[in-house]
Amino acid sequence: MSILVTIEHEQNTQTILASQGETLLTLLQNNGFHLSADCGGQCFCGKCKVRVTGGGELLTGEDAFLNEAEIANGVRLACAVSIQNDLTVSLPARKQAKILTNGLRRQFELDAIIRKVVVHLPKPSLNDQRDDATRLLEAIGKPTLAMPLQLLYRLPSTLREQDFVVTVTVDTQTVIAVEAGDTSDVGYGVAVDIGTTTVVCYLMDLKSGEFVDTASQVNAQAVFGADVISRIRHTMEQDDGLETLKSRITSQIFELTQAMLVKNNINPQHLYGMLFAGNSTMLHLLCGFEVKHIAAAPFIATQMQAVTVLAQEIGIKFNAHMRAYILPHMSSYVGADITAAILASGLYEQDDLSLLIDIGTNGEMVLGNKDKLLCCSTAAGPAFEGANIACGMGGVAGAINSVRYVDGQIAVTTIDAKPPIGICGSGIIDAVAAMLQMGVVDETGRLLDVDEVDESLATYLYETDEGNAFQLTENVSITAKDIREVQLAKAAIAAGIEVLMEQMGVAVKDIDHVYLAGGFGSFLNQESAAAIGLLPQELIEKTLVIGNGAGMGAVMAMLSKTHQEMATAICRNAKCIELSGMPSFQDYYIDKMMFE
Amino acid sequence: MSILVTIEHEQNTQTILASQGETLLTLLQNNGFHLSADCGGQCFCGKCKVRVTGGGELLTGEDAFLNEAEIANGVRLACAVSIQNDLTVSLPARKQAKILTNGLRRQFELDAIIRKVVVHLPKPSLNDQRDDATRLLEAIGKPTLAMPLQLLYRLPSTLREQDFVVTVTVDTQTVIAVEAGDTSDVGYGVAVDIGTTTVVCYLMDLKSGEFVDTASQVNAQAVFGADVISRIRHTMEQDDGLETLKSRITSQIFELTQAMLVKNNINPQHLYGMLFAGNSTMLHLLCGFEVKHIAAAPFIATQMQAVTVLAQEIGIKFNAHMRAYILPHMSSYVGADITAAILASGLYEQDDLSLLIDIGTNGEMVLGNKDKLLCCSTAAGPAFEGANIACGMGGVAGAINSVRYVDGQIAVTTIDAKPPIGICGSGIIDAVAAMLQMGVVDETGRLLDVDEVDESLATYLYETDEGNAFQLTENVSITAKDIREVQLAKAAIAAGIEVLMEQMGVAVKDIDHVYLAGGFGSFLNQESAAAIGLLPQELIEKTLVIGNGAGMGAVMAMLSKTHQEMATAICRNAKCIELSGMPSFQDYYIDKMMFE
């Protein structure tokens, strides 16, 4: 007699042949259906719930895992159903997580790196004298998982507090916590993006995959220098420089997180992990690793691999057991922030060829798809962040953030519509594009003299001791030197793109998508970027702004083991091109200096 | 053209066919010859030295690993020899370690759990921008080995201190230390046997496998009770009892070790690991684990598996990186001391069937061979340690340690030939055996009245308020109650042996060897043991005393990864019989109470 089991799963129905006496869990697992069964099918964890029609009586002990509504509704544990006749089974829908960024919506299976498992342990007896640790680990089906000493101290009393019902929190390597009773509803993690400029912390509910809160601040190390190199210099010039920078960032992350926990009434004992993205210098400083060899050729990091430690080992202590996960870097200058942005973009999963660009003081670029990844970093300089620009400033209220030349008139907007007090990166690119359009800057980047231009334009130009200048508003000007800074920066980025294409053996037309990551990318006027030659014109319409790709990638890695592991695979597979040693980069760089 | 390579190895010569261009290392490895190559044949570690005739020129870099005498003698690195023509190769003899105990000599391949590897790292360049950690781990051929944060802090400066020549200390899980230059000559470990009564520390040279020094003391916890149960009671009755007992033993081990290091002029930085054997209560107290559930049925330990942690985590700190390895237990009452004694005896490797007995307050017994291990523990009581005996005492100067009845006369000896002041365990067994021989004790264990015996014997007997007594010397007597204590103790051991044989389905004649472990076993008069029925007479001639089996097993585990792993295999495979729940044990126990 053949027994048929009909399986309903996410709008699909499938019928498979079963053997009499086989458990439903085994049948489902052997046929490729994913069903959680932390205890390995021993009826300890209560995870493998399915709705069954025709499955026979509830087993003793099975009901402990089911509430009344579930029992009424025919819910069973698949491991407790011994197949004796034809059955119909409805599988639960898989939990999904969604990440929204400016322009990109990513959906993936929720499978957080930290999980909580409720187990009803078999009680010890003269016939079952397993030690407490083994009893627990075998019940969750992970007999070889590490069990820290810290947890072993309280384990015997915790197991006995609620009569051998406990909730175990684990990641892939170790037990993180053991709590008496069922505490599976409360579990949180924080994903952190440590930018050189800004630190952002995302507080996540690990069970639902939802954002609970977000907190951000200017990086507390900023007083020691705006960019990576000046932070590194500080560690070399001051005896306690490394320690100071480390404690600045760890204290800041502690305080940002602490404030979110208080605001949301969350017990710090239920915060089990933090996951960090950031460039290699920021994450080295977080850990307290020496950074001086990153600054000078051949640019060697202490540690680029993923690091997993107790959070208290790096100086962040909410409780003794909280874990810290640090994403891996691709190179000293293509860091874990880019690894995370790659995760957020999804480009490593696609057949299509994509270009990912994150423009800051350095411009990091990745060209690739699911088969191949090439990356590089160019020292663009801080022009696009408003530094080294006469009237330059960051993106704050009163900064000119867009400039247009329309009907013979210059029109500017400012952040928060405040009176203009300076100009930020996106404004500078617009301004240079407008000046090219007006014809007051030639293709070599020279700002023309007053007597070289029409009268209508001459009113914008004036001479200073340091060369010509262009009066944008009453108190904001662009100098000839500013234009040179923009030229150097855009040439570095554009030449980097050329080298990646050359190494990949592709042309601009072969690129299907461009992802712009980072704050600057979000505000950039893409037409202006093309006008000054920062990006090829052909790519503009293929461009998608993904906002804080590093932060979103960190959240994805926290909510998905698959993506956390993918981060390591990405770093292992990516080939990093060191531009400083490459003659063709120099050629492209000089070539791209021109405005065309 | 076939190329033949002739291999000379420990008096054997073998010729094998090689492919042109194959490295000598690959050829040897593929043909089952064990040759250390920590770097995986990348010419970084210098371990794969062999003497070659006809191997061509030295490679660049290869000479860095060879001294002049070696070069003159034709020594090469096997990984650097590309086979182009017929060769003759002499392999080095494998290093052996030897452990001597009272009656047993065990020889095994020296392969300590902690190894030091000297590596000449390829230097970083623009073409090799691997981070420092990866560079190091890849050079020792262990890219996934854990690298603690503590080591990463100083890694960049350590690597550069002697121009990328470093010595790496590793075990199977983690990097333990990284030192600049070649420090491979200095590496030490301490094997510790924590007995309830006595603590012994063996300081070992990990490179040579030799004993450097030994230190022992009475267990500093002894003031809180002589046996395991009274120690456990102390942790239950005093709030800080557990902490007190833990700090007593950790301080004592620290001080014993410290004294040995000072005496032998050893830098504590070169002490890389400690390995611990002991019963489950002693090792729980070492770690600070709760022990109260060990004391009452169903006798549950917190953790019986092998534990490996940083030594400072259990409160023993010579340096930040030192590791602590704790051997696994078979049950709450058949602990890691017995696991170690099994290692020392070698019974798990033999076809022959062996019985291992360790008699103390508890008598632990193991019956088995390479296919099967059965074990049990019986509460023999402290009679054999001289406790609960009217004139009983430990084995110190002045204790009667042997008693014989010859030519109608009682003859005693004492430890250090001092005037008798009491009697120790081996003396009591002798005394009871002598009394049986004299006929003053009957088969039920009753000490006869004065008027029941010949006049020549009556002089030894006298009456007290608590029953009869036997005057052994002027000031040392054996009471009727003492004889009952001995009966209970021997019956427990003898009944345990019967249960093991019954469960194994064997008889006394099937047992090929008996190993007596522990201090008591070393001094026991085996004929007396048979006379009182502690051991079957047939086994006496098969008995071998192995002395401190726990200590020797700990040393073996420290010097041999194979034996350390074997300890876990032994515990996984051993079946522990809980005698307290077993009716047949009760029957045997009553039966064995008699003297026959």
- Nearest by CB to residue B300, choosing from A129, A147, A332, is A129
pLDDT of A150 over the 70 cut: yes
Question: Tokens 């876990």 correspond to what residue?
Answer: B568
What value does the mean pLDDT of chain B take?
Answer: 91
Distance from C-alpha of A285 to C-alpha of A195, rounded to nearest angstrom: 12
Tell me the mean pLDDT in the region A133-146: 94
Nearest to A302 among B133, B297, B302 (CB): B133
Residue A92's pLDDT is what? 81
What is the average pLDDT value for chain A, to the nearest integer? Answer: 91
Is the predicted pLDDT of residue B101 greater than 80, yes or no? no
Does residue A327 register a pLDDT over 80?
Answer: yes
Residue-wise pLDDT tens digits, A392-408: 887 788 899 999 999 88
The widest CA-to-CA distance across chain A, in whole angstroms, is 103
Check: CB of residue B257 under 8 Å from CB of residue B217: no
Task: Write out chain B residues lying below 8 Å of A287, CB-based.
Answer: 149, 152
| Residue contact B301–A132, C-beta within 8 A | yes
Greatest alpha-carbon pair distance for chain B in Å reads 102
pLDDT category, A303, cuts 50, 70, 90? very high
For the segment A118-134, what is each residue's pLDDT rounded down to a tens digit? 999 999 999 999 999 99
Give mean pLDDT, residues B79-92: 88
Using 50, 70 and 90 to split pLDDT, how confident is the model at B422?
A: very high
User: Chain B interface residues facing chain A, Cβ-Cβ under 8 Å?
Assistant: 124-134, 147, 149, 152-153, 155-157, 287-290, 292-293, 297-305, 307, 309, 313-314, 329, 331-332, 576, 578, 580-581
The per-residue pLDDT for B96 is 66
Has residue B438 got a pLDDT over 70? yes
Cα(B335)–Cα(B356) distance, rounded to whole angstroms? 13
Asked if B131 and A302 come within 8 Å (Cβ–Cβ), the reply is: yes
* B550, B277 contact by CB (below 8 A): yes
pLDDT of residue B382: 77
Task: Collect all residues of chain B within an 8 Å Cβ-Cβ radius of residue A288.
Answer: 149, 153
Q: How many CA atoms lie within 13 A of A24 on its CB side?
A: 33
**Nearest chain A Cα distance for residue B294, angstroms:** 10
Closest CB to A126: pick one of B134, B147, B580. B580
Distance from CA of A134 to the nearest CA of B (A): 7
- Enumerate domains of chain B plus CATH numbers: 3-90 (3.10.20.30), 115-180 (3.10.20.880), 190-326 (3.30.420.480)
Contacts of A290 in chain B (CB under 8 A): 153, 155-157
Chain A residues lying within 8 Å of B147, measured CB to CB:
303
Residue B176 distance to chain A (closest CA, Å): 16
Gap between the Cα atoms of B411 and B406, Å rounded: 7
- CA distance to partner chain A, nearest, from residue B157 (Å): 9
- Kindly list the distances between the CA atom of residue A226 and the CA atoms of A195, A216, A427, B189, in Å, as whole numbers in the listed order: 11, 17, 20, 49
Residues of A with CB under 8 A from a CB of B: 124-134, 147, 149, 152-153, 155-157, 287-290, 292-293, 297-305, 307, 309, 313-314, 329, 331-332, 576, 578, 580-581
Choose the mutation target among B131, B149, B313 for the interface with A, i.e. most A CBs under 10 Å.
B131
Task: Tell me which chain B residues have a C-beta less than 8 angstroms from the C-beta of A336.
Answer: none
CB B188 within 8 A of CB B212: yes
Mean pLDDT for B135-160 is 94
Confidence of residue A73 (pLDDT cuts 50, 70, 90): confident
pLDDT of residue B153: 96
Q: Helix or strand or coil: residue B5?
A: strand
Distances in Å between the Cα of A261 and the Cα atoms of A257, A268, B24 are 6, 7, 62
Instruction: Work out the average pLDDT over B31-55.
Output: 79
Pairwise CB contact (< 8 Å): A133 & B157: no
What is the tens place of the pLDDT at every residue in B525-550? 999 999 999 999 999 999 998 888 99
- Residues 6 or more apart in contact with residue A506 via CB below 8 angstroms: A353, A367
The whole-angstrom separation of Cα B78 and Cα B48 is 6
Strands, E assignment, A344-484: 354-359, 362-368, 373-379, 399-406, 409-414, 422-423, 461-464, 467-471, 477-479
Show residues of chain A in contact with B149, CB under 8 Å: 287-288, 307, 309, 313-314
How close is the nearest chain A Cα to the Cα of B27, in Å? 30
CB pairs below 8 Å between A and B: how many? 128
| Calpha distance A215→B269 (Å, rounded) | 44
Rounded average pLDDT over B562-568: 96
Which pair of structure tokens corresponds to residue A330? 């691709």
Nearest residue to A375 via CA among A135, A572, A161: A572
Average pLDDT over residues A177-191: 97
- Tell me the pLDDT tens digit for each residue of B383-402: 887 778 999 887 788 999 99
Q: Read off the pLDDT band of A99 (50, 70, 90).
A: low
Least confident among A266-270, A407-411, B434-438 = A407-411
Using pLDDT thresholds of 50, 70 and 90, give the confidence band for residue B105.
low
> Which residues, including other chains, have CB under 8 Å from residue B383's CB and lie 6 or more apart?
B389, B392, B425, B428, B482, B485, B486, B488, B489
The predicted pLDDT at position A161 comes to: 97
> For residue B254, how many other CB atoms are within 10 A of its CB?
16
Chain A residues with CB under 8 Å of B133 CB are: 302-305
Residues of B in contact with A305 (CB under 8 A): 131, 133-134
Our CA-based measurement puts residue A158 at a distance from the nearest CA of chain B, in whole angstroms, of: 11
* Six-digit token string for A490: 């855009």
**Contact yes or no for B129 and A299 at CB 8 A:** yes
The angle at the Cα of A486, spanning A483 to A492, to the nearest 5 degrees, equals 140
- For residue A94, name the pLDDT band (cuts at 50, 70, 90): low
Distance CA A97, CA A108 (A): 6
Residue A327 to residue B167: CA distance in whole angstroms: 28
User: Which chain A residue lies closest to B126 (C-alpha atoms)?
Assistant: A298
Position A64 scores a pLDDT of: 79
Q: Give A573's strand partners.
A: none
Kindly determine whether residue A128 and residue B309, on different chains, have CB atoms separated by under 8 Å: no
Chain A residues with CB inside 8 Å of B572's CB? none
Which residues in chain A have Cβ-Cβ distances shorter than 8 Å to B153? 288-290
Structure tokens that stand for B372 in this block: 């099967």
Q: What is the DSSP letter of B173?
A: S
Q: Which of B202, B104, B97 is nearest to B521 (CA)?
A: B104
For B287, which residue in chain A has the nearest alpha carbon?
A149
Asked if B302 lies within 8 A of A152 by C-beta distance, the reply is yes
What pLDDT score does A362 carry?
A: 84
Q: In the predicted model, is pLDDT for residue B103 greater than 60?
A: no
Cα–Cα distance, B190 to B261 (Å, whole number): 10
Contact B303 A133 (CB under 8 A): yes
**Helix %, strand %, coil % for chain A, to 5?**
35, 30, 35
Q: What separation in angstroms does the CA of A387 have from each of A68, A380, A502? A: 65, 12, 31
Q: How far apart are CA A403 and CA B476, in angstroms?
A: 110
| B327 vs B325: CA distance, rounded Å | 6
Edge-to-edge strands, sheet with B165-170: B115-120, B165-170, B175-180
Residues near A151 by beta carbon (within 8 Å), at least 6 away in sequence: A175, A177, A178, A321
Question: Could you tell me which chain A residue has the CA closest to the CA of B580?
Answer: A126
Share of chain B above pLDDT 90, in %: 69
| Distance, CA of A518 to chain centre | 11
User: What's the rounded mean pLDDT across residues A546-553?
Assistant: 90
Do B133 and A331 count as a contact with CB atoms less than 8 A apart? Answer: no
Q: Are strands B543-547 and B513-517 parallel, antiparallel or unpaired?
A: parallel
Identify the band that residue A15 occupies on the pLDDT scale cut at 50, 70 and 90.
confident
Contact A468, A478 (CB under 8 A): no
Residue B264: CA count within 13 A, CB half-sphere: 23
pLDDT at A101: 53
Integer distance in angstroms from the first to the last C-alpha of chain B?
Answer: 79
Of A133, A287, A297, nearest to B149 by CB-CB distance is A287
Q: Is the pLDDT of residue A294 over 80?
A: yes
Asked if residue A66 has pLDDT above 70, the reply is: yes
Q: Is the pLDDT of residue B102 over 60?
A: no
Q: What is the mean predicted confidence (pLDDT) over A99-111? A: 70
The lowest-confidence range among A83-97, A185-199, A204-218 is A83-97
Structure tokens at B537: 């007479």
Average pLDDT over residues B345-349: 93
Q: Within 13 Å and on the Cβ side, how many CA atoms surround A101?
A: 29
- Residue A382, pLDDT above cutoff 70: yes
pLDDT at residue A149, as a whole number: 93
Which of B131, B290, B298 lies nearest to residue A126, judging by beta carbons? B298
**Chain A nearest C-alpha distance from B134 (Å):** 7
Per-residue pLDDT for B37 more than 80?
Answer: no
Predicted pLDDT at A80: 87
Q: How far is A241 from chain B (nearest CA, A)?
A: 14
Question: For residue A289, which residues of chain B lie inside 8 Å, CB to CB?
Answer: 152-153, 156
State pLDDT tens for residues A360-379: 778 999 999 999 999 999 98
B149 with A581: Cβ contact below 8 A: no
Query: How near does any CA of chain A get to the CA of B50, in Å?
Result: 35
Alpha carbons A236 and A225: distance in angstroms, whole number? 13
Q: Does position B374 have pLDDT exceeding 80, yes or no? A: yes
Asked which of A103-112, A171-180, A549-558, B335-344 is least confident by mean pLDDT, the reply is: A103-112
Specify the pLDDT at position A100: 52
Q: What is the pLDDT of residue B450?
A: 92
Q: How many CA atoms lie within 13 A of A281 on its CB side?
A: 26
Residue A84, token pair as written in the block: 């004796």
Query: Which residues, at least 6 apart from A479, have a Cβ–Cβ distance to it below 8 Å?
Result: A390, A447, A464, A466, A467, A468, A469, A470
CA distance B331 to chain A (A): 8
Closest approach of chain A CAs to the CA of B350, in angstroms?
28
Residues contacting residue B534 through CB under 8 Å, at least 6 positions apart: B429, B490, B493, B494
For A252, the token pair is 């800041």
Higher pLDDT, A13 or A281: A281
Residue B14 has pLDDT above 70, yes or no: yes
| A522 vs A559, residue with greater confidence | A559
**Contact across the interface for A305 and B155, Cβ inside 8 Å:** no
What count of other Cβ atoms lies within 10 Å of the Cβ of residue A507?
Answer: 11
pLDDT confidence tier of residue B104, bands split at 50, 70 and 90 = low
Q: Is B303 in contact with A128 (Cβ distance < 8 A)?
A: no
Q: How confident is the model at residue B275 (pLDDT cuts 50, 70, 90)?
A: very high
Segment holding B70, helix H or strand E: helix B68-72
**Pair B245, B275: CB distance under 8 Å:** no
Q: A-chain residues within 8 Å CB-CB of B152?
A: 287, 289, 302-303
- Distance from C-alpha of B363 to C-alpha of B492, rounded to nearest angstrom: 8
- Exposure string over B188-212, b if 16+ CB within 10 A, otherwise e: bbbbbbbbbbbbbbbbbbbbebeeb
| pLDDT at B99 (0 to 100) | 57
| Closest alpha carbon to B483 in B550, B438, B546 | B438
